[in-house]
Amino acid sequence: MSYQEQYSYDYQDYYQIYDNRASTGIWYLDQLLQGGFRKGEIYLVAGEAGQGKTIFSLQFLKTGAELYDEPGLYITIDEPSEDVKRGVRESLGWDLDALETQNKLIFVDLRTHFRTYAKEEKVSADPRDIAKIILEYVKKFGVKRLVIDPIAPLIITSHTDVLWVREYMRELVFQVRKIKDITTLMTSEIPTGENKISRFGVEEYLASGVIKLELMEYRGFVFRVMFLRKMRWTAVRPQKLVFEIYPHYGIYILDRLENFMKQVDVWYATLGQQPQAPPAT
């Protein structure tokens, strides 16, 4: 029996519409969050490279576009948007080109813009300029969901003044919040091996919610964990959830971490009780 078969849920209520919530596209998570993210708020998804941050953000946009008629804007800075779309098409079977053709998903590649800033030796792109770019697309396409993936390149990392970085992030968040009725998801890559919630250590203070994606090892098993670190204005306790990434589904939560570990313990105990083959002679 696969994990997906063992940990299955009833999807009959999945397509409920909550007036003040934006579904994440992850059924179990939506149930915990009373329908999803609060509309109009800003959320942070953080984790080391390869933990599923981009898939999480695209699943959020894809769900809004397909199920709720909420156009989404995906701003990429590190990676060409064509590479992003090809990656999820080959790994998950998601055809985002079709949604883009219908103007339900809009991809904006800002790499060229920020290379210009770097050549001019500026420490960052002006948050007001970023907000203007976003606002143009919001007005043109009626955007309701926004993803900035990742947030770090907006701040040239040679600037080491933590107070300055905090003020920059505060101004960026303020400018984005001024754009009404937009639910925003920002991703932040955590350097490998560092026990942090975000790259600069300040992003989590400005977001309404923080989710950290990470790997965990237990009894020889390595599995993916989603840590609900903070959810302002939502009655949910901090907790860890075990998840997997499946073709077509995307991110699929298996269970709470404590329940999953109990299942591993049972399996481990059962394995230990099985008769062992005699040593070879």
Tens digit of each residue's pLDDT (9 = 90 or more) over 58-91: 999 999 999 999 999 999 988 899 999 999 999 9
pTM, to two decimals: 0.85
Q: Report how many helices (DSSP H) and strands (DSSP E) the chain contains, helices first.
A: 10, 11
Question: Is residue 37 situated within a structural domain?
Answer: yes
Say if residues 60 and 92 touch (Cβ distance below 8 Å): no
Task: Report how many domains make up the chain.
Answer: 1
Question: Is residue 101 situated within a structural domain?
Answer: yes
Question: Is residue 176 situated within a structural domain?
Answer: yes
- Rounded Cα–Cα distance for residues 79 and 34 (Å): 33
CB-based contacts of 28-35 (< 8 A; 24+ apart in sequence): 28/241, 28/253, 29/226, 29/241, 29/253, 32/228, 32/236, 32/239, 33/231, 33/234, 33/236, 34/234, 34/235, 34/236
Question: Is residue 10 situated within a structural domain?
Answer: no
- Provide the token pair at 235: 């009655």
Question: Is residue 57 situated within a structural domain?
Answer: yes
Domain containing 138 equals 20-273
Tell me what percent of the residues of the chain surpass a pLDDT of 90.
56
Under 8 Å CB-to-CB from 158, ≥6 apart: which residues? 123
Question: Is residue 15 situated within a structural domain?
Answer: no
- In 27-144, DSSP assigns E strands to 37-38, 42-47, 72-76, 105-109
Residue 267's domain is classified under what CATH number?
A: 3.40.50.300
* CA max distance for the chain: 77
Least confident of 34-48, 91-105, 153-167, 228-242: 153-167
Start-to-end Cα distance in the chain: 35
pLDDT tens, position by position, 181-218: 899 999 998 888 877 777 776 677 789 999 999 999 99
pLDDT tens, position by position, 239-274: 999 999 999 999 999 999 999 999 999 988 888 766
- Provide the token pair at 186: 């920002």
Question: Is residue 6 situated within a structural domain?
Answer: no
Question: Is residue 9 situated within a structural domain?
Answer: no
